[in-house]
Structure 1
Amino acid sequence: MNIGIIGSGFIGGTLAKLLSAAGHTVRVANSRGPNTVNADVLSTGALAVTKEEALVGADVVILSIPFIRIPDLKTLLAELPEESVIIDTSNYIPARDERLDAIENGQPDSVWASEQIGRPLAKAWNTIYSASLNEAGRPAGDPDRIAVPIAADRDHDRVVTMSLVEDSGFDAYHAGSLAESWRQQCGTPCYCTEVTLESLPQALTYADLARARKRQDLFFAVYEERFGTIGTNPSRDYIVQLSKLIYG
């Protein structure tokens, strides 16, 4: 499958490595140009390209950029064929992004993002901490394999996204439509808590949007007190344990 990834940071760069290693043709781009993509991101065969080149012939485009920058891609993504799958991995984080009234009033992150670019989206890999994505992939059938919820409105988007999640080393679980994707947003019980396929459905059921907003703010208050501005990536154990304490 031909995959274009916009964003070569902690999530996008890791997905470039994992999906290339799984046999996909991967082109990865960032906002600074191909020569700034870290060599490790390209270590399993991904190619560093411009954003425009990442979309050429792409069956799938993965967006791994700060949430607030998604609207900037509207013109670029408009050139994709209708059947191309766009996967959003990002999260609305008020401590990092500007506060958006629509989302603060209850609109799911990915519904807002889909409206901004004027195209259907699938939501995936947003619930897994970047260090977990890099370190914790397991073969299918492993009892400790972490589960990743995906949300999508189109059947084709759902099937393709679930297949790629499996290829990246995690169990895929269809969590419903984009309208229901708030259950996998930041602050909910499945967010960065490394739930398994067996426990994920219950975690999604226990999600409460109002409480999630409060818990998200509490998490980032702790984070900022400990590490300062967002951008530092603490250890996997620290983030997962803190997430379990606050979100679980």
Structure 2
Amino acid sequence: MIRTIGFIGSGSIGGSLARLAVAAGLDVVMSNSRGPETLADLVAELGDHARAATPQEAAKAGDVVVATVPMSAYDKLPAGALAGKIVIDTMNYYPERDGRIAELDSGDITSSELLQRHLADSPVVKTVHNMDWIRLYSRARPAGTADRSALPVAGDDPAAKTEIIRLLAVLGYDAVDIGTLADSWRCEPGTPVSVWPYLGERPEGTTKEETQRWFREAPGEPVPTDRVKKLIDAAVRGPVGGTFAALPFWG
């Protein structure tokens, strides 16, 4: 049973997931590359179920661990401390931020497969990365709610996927198993299931500032299981890596 989630990376996505976890009664151990002291405000907001630690400590403390760092830092994750732990991969490859990664650009390996190779002793499960951090928190719903959304899940270890699907259910989401880490390209940036379906229709003719305000304030839309399946099936493999220009908060 998952009682504690470790976080390596405590930015927007990590913070939203941690808030959902605490709301569900779970404990969280937050970490980042700058040191536990820089997380004082976040931990204070999260309350008694949260504490700050180093990445090594968060890795050891978590029943599962969320890796939510830039893709360029994937090989800095503490493989030894993560051995035997399920690792949730929320990372996306953005060459503008991460630099070019030749193995990914070739299309021969997905970003999650690259992470799995680094974390050889940890089953990696790809999920959560295809929603923006605002809707990720605000669109969570109890099981059975009519407007509950689903998230794609990919992984090579069936038992690990089952465990994370159960965790997503607790956090407020249904799940669609889309296959192995090799299949995870179907929910990478630029694919039909990435970000936009959960946001809803973008207003036309808006300035950059108006678009960014809409992004902050939009309630979003439910994306149920059947729609996620259709969006996954519609994916066509194209150029690898996302672009910031395609992101709504970038304008």
Name the TM tier (shorter chain). Answer: 0.7 to 0.9
1:191 aligns with 2:201: no
Secondary structure at 1:37 match in 2: helix
Partners of 2:41 and 2:228 lie apart in 1 by: 35
- The equivalent position to 1:161 in structure 2, one of 161, 164, 170, is 164
Secondary structure at 2:82 match in 1: coil
Other-structure match for 2:113:
111
Other-structure match for 1:101:
102
Q: Could you give the per-residue CA deviations for residues 4-60 of structure 1, whole angstroms, max 9, x where no partner exists?
A: 111110011111121122122211111111121152454242211121221224221
Identity of aligned residues (%): 34
Other-structure match for 2:41:
39
Q: Is the 8 A contact 1:35 1:48 kept in 2?
A: yes
Partners of 2:153 and 2:194 lie apart in 1 by: 12
Other-structure match for 1:85:
86
1:54 aligns with 2:55: no
What TM-score results when the alignment is normalised by the length of structure 2? 0.80
Q: Which moved more, 1:86-95 or 1:45-54?
A: 45-54
Flag the 1:38–1:79 CA change in 2: closer, same or farther, 3 A.
Answer: closer
1:140 aligns with 2:164: no
Partners of 1:157 and 1:136 lie apart in 2 by: 24
Q: 1:213, CA displacement in angstroms? A: 4.4
> With CA pairs under 8 Å and 6+ residues apart, which has the higher RCO, 1 or 2?
2
List 4+ stretches of structure 1 deviating above 4 A. Answer: none
Aligned-pair RMSD on alpha carbons?
Answer: 2.1
Q: Could you give the per-residue CA deviations for residues 80-132 of structure 1, whole angstroms, max 9, x where no partner exists?
A: 342x2111111011121111122112121101121233343110101111111
Other-structure match for 1:30:
32
* Equivalent AA in structure 2 for residue 221 of structure 1: A
Q: Which moved more, 1:138-147 or 1:40-49?
A: 40-49
> What is the correspondence of 1:208-227 to structure 2 with a 5 Å cutoff?
208-210=236-238, 213=240, 216-217=242-243, 220-221=244-245
Aligned residues: 220
Q: Is the 8 A contact 1:19 1:164 kept in 2?
A: no
Secondary structure at 1:78 match in 2: helix
Other-structure match for 1:152:
155
Q: Is the 8 A contact 1:148 1:171 kept in 2?
A: yes
* Equivalent AA in structure 2 for residue 197 of structure 1: T
Secondary structure at 2:190 match in 1: coil
- The equivalent position to 1:200 in structure 2, one of 225, 228, 233, is 228
Structure 1 segments unaligned to the other structure (5+ residues):
224-232, 243-248
Other-structure match for 2:72:
68
Other-structure match for 2:205:
none
1:7 aligns with 2:5: no
* Equivalent AA in structure 2 for residue 203 of structure 1: L
Partners of 1:130 and 1:222 lie apart in 2 by: 16
